[in-house]
Amino acid sequence: MSAVLVKPARVLGRQIVLRDATVHDAEFIVGLRTDPIKGQYLSQTSSDVQAQREWLRSYAGDDSQVYFIIEDRDGQRHGTVRLYDVQGDSFSWGSWILADDRPSGFAVESALMVYHFALGLGFVASHFSVRVGNESVWKFHERFGAVRTGQQGDDYFYSISRAAIEASFDKYRKYLPDGVTVIPR
């Protein structure tokens, strides 16, 4: 039996809360995705906030993905991350954007949280792509133990095993010493 994505209300980490995205986040999401620096390695996004609201309304009924807003413990939004493309016991993740004013450690903690959450759902691996030009991000994933499996055009493809994920939990334990707490809907 394959693992499945489940939308929780929240996933709690040490400094971070991953919260299910809602239509109220549309303007924030569009702002991040259309930022000329942050958006350069993302799929093309419209600056139409109403279109983003419509997408979020549709997303609310879509069980094939989980789209989180990355917040601090005070509820200030600092980014987004999405889990999707389930293939057996592997999932993909992306739409990972962090605001410039985020607290230190948010990149590592949010990545660890994605993996903790996914392993808790029964996934044992992840697959994803990163734009070739987005060197800081693909190097980040490689430090986590992701292995480059190919390249097509402007994209590198990666996979990461459960063993590599668990090794990253140990390597980066200071960022998320107690794992995560999942608050169901």
Over residues 96-153, the pLDDT tens digits come to: 999 988 988 999 999 999 999 999 999 999 999 999 999 999 999 999 999 999 999 9
What is the DSSP annotation of 52-93? HHHHHHHHHT-TT-EEEEEEETT--EEEEEEEEEEETTEEEE
Is the model's pLDDT at 29 over the cut of 90? yes
**Rounded mean pLDDT of 63-82?**
97
Asked whether the predicted pLDDT for residue 157 surpasses 70, the reply is yes
Residue 4 in any domain: the answer is no
| Count: domains in the chain | 1
| Percentage with pLDDT > 90 across the chain | 88
CATH number, domain containing residue 54: 3.40.630.30
Q: What's the average model confidence in pLDDT over 32-56? A: 85
- Please state the pTM of the whole predicted model: 0.94
Does residue 72 belong to any structural domain of this protein?
yes
Cβ pair 22, 116 in contact under 8 A = no
Domain range for residue 88? 10-183
What's the Rg (C-alpha) of the chain? 16
pLDDT confidence of 46, banded at 50, 70, 90? confident
pLDDT grade for 81, boundaries at 50, 70 and 90: very high
